[in-house]
Amino acid sequence: MRLFVAVQPPDDVLDRLAGLRRPERRGVRWTSRAQWHVTLAFLGEVADPGPVAAALDAAPLAPATADLGPAVAPLGRRVVCVPVAGLDDVAAAVRRALPAGDPDRLGFRGHLTLARVSGGRLRDLVGEPVAARFPVGDVRLVRSHLGGRGAPRYEDLHIRPLTGESAEGP
């Protein structure tokens, strides 16, 4: 199974993102509302999600506040995103808790992907103001179902509330 740990923004934030300009342009694949999340840790292929869910439950994960914006921005040369701040501590705690260590060599860079671009420039796709703030009350262990040429479909396998202590108790 292809897995990652993520934060899901609430509906009012997703509504705000849905209102952003999304110009039709060759080589631009816009992500859908169902795909919008902030990845805290990408695990890749994992045979059994049970140990990951147990590790998340045992980790001391404190509530956080996520800040989106201030504007749509590039991430490298091929991704259009909204930067997300305020999740560094949660991401670090999640990554420390992973049973096999942190397989993601790139580290955490808070963002929510809006589009992927193949060829062409990003300049005219970025810069639109967007700002939102929301409390983060849980993290999710998510399975990514890759479907040929279509967009991936995501399935929550486990939801871990953020309480400042392990889910099993203090």
pLDDT tens track of the chain, all 170 residues? Answer: 999 999 999 999 999 999 999 988 889 999 999 999 999 999 989 999 999 999 999 999 999 999 999 999 999 889 999 999 999 999 999 999 988 766 666 689 999 999 999 877 788 889 999 999 999 999 999 999 987 666 788 999 999 999 765 555 44
Print the domain residue range for 16. Answer: 2-149
CATH number at residue 20: 3.90.1140.10
Does residue 137 fall inside a structural domain?
A: yes
Distance CA 40, CA 139 (A): 9
pLDDT of residue 152: 84
pLDDT of residue 164: 60
Does residue 126 fall inside a structural domain?
A: yes
Does residue 167 fall inside a structural domain?
A: no
Does residue 163 fall inside a structural domain?
A: no
Does residue 24 fall inside a structural domain?
A: yes
**CB within 8 A of 75, min separation 6: which ones?**
81, 109, 111, 113
pLDDT of residue 103: 63
Does residue 99 fall inside a structural domain?
A: yes
At 55-86, the pLDDT tens digits run: 999 999 999 999 999 999 999 889 999 999 99
pLDDT of residue 170: 45
Does residue 123 fall inside a structural domain?
A: yes
**Number of domains composing the chain:** 1
Does residue 164 fall inside a structural domain?
A: no
pLDDT of residue 156: 97
- Residue 36 contacts residue 81 (beta carbons within 8 Å): no
* The token pair that represents 167 in the structure block: 């889910």
Phi, then psi, of 141 in degrees rounded to 5: -90, 120
